[in-house]
Structure 1
Amino acid sequence: MKDYVIIATFTFQHEYTVLKLLLDREGIDYFFENEITNSVLPFHTNLIAGINLKVHRRDQEKAEQIIRDFNTNSHLRIV
């Protein structure tokens, strides 16, 4: 996991549901750090510094572009 970098941080799981679909569709290697902890202890998200989206370094630029494109071209927003 040392080759993964944080590119975004979220407070709630619903904030990135669509993003998961977009990343999967593009074959990007990623995971959400603290996602399970947030499911079990939802009010502790701020204590654990949120839910971090981590992507492999080789996919970082592409994943960041997906977030930018989505925020620009959609009425929805990835926080």
Structure 2
Amino acid sequence: MVNRISTLISALGVFAASMLLIGAVYEYREGAFPFWVGLGVLIVTSAVHVLVRDIRALRPRSRRVGGGKNAGGKNGRR
């Protein structure tokens, strides 16, 4: 349950960061310093990274250890 709440908070963070980026682009078009657009992109990238990490934590892990049917390389079983 904690992982789901964390994922929801991360999704809201991506939404808030996107709104910040949209505002920064709007202000840049009005003549503001372009630093804010770069900072907005950095914040959105960070928020998306956290969201992806939280989504991957929700997914169940495979119990199979080893290569499996489609594994290649030296250690793959066929």
* TM-score with structure 1 setting the length: 0.30
Structure of greater Rg: 2
Larger relative contact order (Cα-Cα within 8 Å, sequence gap ≥ 6) = 1
Which has the larger helix fraction?
A: 2
Which has the larger strand fraction?
A: 1
